[in-house]
Chain A
């Protein structure tokens, strides 16, 4: 319990830190691009909207600590400002509409990569020097060396443009009405295969190698020797004794890697014009939509922290040394 509370404290501090970065950046930034932006949009904004921009970006003259308190209050009440590129939609709505797709893409890819990578790692370590152990690690390291977006580009070019096996982008066929019909879900999955596949391909190697190396370390432990001496079946030793222990560092790594996968998913979305947050982020960057950029940053940070917290709860379930003292 104390462990969980300590972790929760960490996440709150981390979130507070990212809030502060968000608050400070526009105020420290040279050249006042927000002021220019407001100038350009003069005619289209209502006075109330101008006011909101002013205090989000620190263009009012109140003392900084007052601005800070107000900023935090705004964030927690969901007032992240108005997207300038999709004026006048509030940032919260823009993000809300797209977040689901990012979770679908990132989540699917992450889970497949983790499960598959760990299984491959377990088997490779147990069959040291076998085919799996010799062929996969170098191959996956090679594939993993490519930037996410480059693999995505190649996959899109190969499977979408050239071979025409899969669609060349988007999350579903344009014009299809979103519903829970089998046909629509099938269409979504069809559009998901290549983008998710590229993320899996790039991240698989890390998982496999990580698991393999921990497994090899674990296999040298005394309790594995003892399990062998006990005459247990190989399968039981491999899963219940070796992999079960080797899994623990893997779970910790899982939390740490979520942030990376989010990054990969963002870039992959950009390549596939997949309508998630990453694609929004690109558009925000291109049109200098600062409120949207900041909103996306905060949302993603919150999501990653929440995911990490969930993993901590799982970890406590898995490791009795943390659970019961």
Chain B
């Protein structure tokens, strides 16, 4: 299926972007985003994601007023008045869900972007300069990878004053190393390519080489690292808040679960208080994973289809 897809896709982009080019341009030059969107799974992921973002942005329109306000008697099961029921304290679960999306997505994407950026910076520097710089940065990266993340998160969050800023900082501290490792590995293989040496011989400066020559070749790895970091950010934020380490008075999916668990929803059987927020986290993570999966398949020719290995010699 994917072979057929990209076969036809190549024709269209080659024709639109560069009329002079022959129609049989190999597919890896097509714009990455376009090729990913052509994958059905990725498209599903993007649609889910867009819906969530739109709902989060439109929260004040959809559910005006304070989501923490008690609007009904406690623990009502879903009804027309309250589509997802109410919590023990009588808050509307749907309102909590919608408002929670703002904090969860906001923090998730911020963490994802920052952790990717830090990882990119460290990974690229490490790989480009090599030797002592690489040794030192690799040791630091590996240490952060080795120290178990959640316990570190917990002591950091416990000692620092609660708030979204703390959560972002703490998550970036614990999350950057994974992306740095991936970026370094990729950058290292690029560094070994002749075209980087060729750029050096041409007389380009290191920064120019990193940004203009190496970065464009890392689009897919940066993209999938970013997605993985966002997944990490949203999940870890929820985990921290679930443990009561966030700002429990704020509204997010994690704090919703924290309150649901604290108010004994599990034992009392009020499933509607915890299922929506958890499902939302899972859906977001799933949609990102779908996109990531497609990035992998599209950019890794071995996974994409059974191309022939023989006779590939140049």
Contact = CB atoms under 8 A, between A and B. Distances in A.
Say if A and B assemble together.
yes
Interface of A: 10-11, 13-14, 17-18, 21-22, 25-26, 29-31, 128, 137-138, 141-142, 144-150, 153-154, 156-157, 161-162, 168, 213, 216-217, 220, 225, 256, 258-260, 262-263, 266-267, 270-271, 281-282, 285-286, 288, 290, 293-294, 296-297, 300-301, 304-305, 308
B276 to A, nearest CB: 11
Interface string B86-115: 000000000000000000000000000000
Given A13-B143, A220-B309, 15 more contacts: A10-B143, A11-B146, A17-B147, A22-B155, A142-B286, A157-B266, A161-B266, A161-B269, A216-B303, A259-B146, A260-B148, A262-B150, A267-B242, A301-B147, A301-B151
Contacts of A149: 239, 242, 257
Given A138-B41, A145-B285, A146-B285, A26 B266 contact: no
Interface in B217-258: 231, 235, 238-239, 242-245, 257
The 4 closest A-B pairs by CB, nearest first: A263-B150, A150-B278, A145-B285, A259-B148
Contact of A144 (B238, B267, B289): B289
Contacts of A225: 309-310
Interface stretch (B13-21, B65-73, B156-164, B195-203): B156-164
A296 B278 CA distance: 27
Nearest to A28: B159
A18 to B, nearest CB: 5
A154 B139 contact: no
Contacts of A281: 151, 154, 243
Given A145-B285, A153-B261, A259-B148, A213 B303 contact: yes
A301 B151 CA distance: 8
Given A146-B278, A220-B302, A14 B147 contact: yes
A146 B231 CA distance: 10
B128 interface: no
B158 A285 contact: yes
Contacts of B158: 285, 288, 290, 293
Contact of A156 (B148, B150, B160, B266): B266
Contacts of B275: 154
A21 B152 contact: yes
B281 A146 contact: yes
Main secondary structure of the interface of B (DSSP, over half): helix
Contacts of A162: 269
From B148, B231, B271, residue with most partner A Cβ within 10 Å:
B148
A26 B159 contact: yes
Interface string B259-289: 0010000110101001100100111111001
Contact of A271 (B155, B231, B261, B281): B261
Contacts of B290: 141
B12 interface: no
Contacts of A258: 148
Contact of B160 (A29, A157, A267): A29
A13 B242 contact: no
From B158, B160, B269, residue with most partner A Cβ within 10 Å:
B158
A297 B151 contact: yes
B152 A297 contact: yes
B306 interface: yes
Given A149-B242, A282-B243, A300 B267 contact: no
A10 B139 contact: yes
Contact of B152 (A18, A157, A168, A271): A18
20 contacts: A10-B139, A14-B146, A25-B156, A26-B159, A142-B286, A145-B285, A147-B235, A147-B238, A147-B239, A148-B239, A153-B257, A225-B309, A259-B147, A262-B151, A267-B150, A267-B239, A281-B243, A286-B244, A304-B147, A308-B146
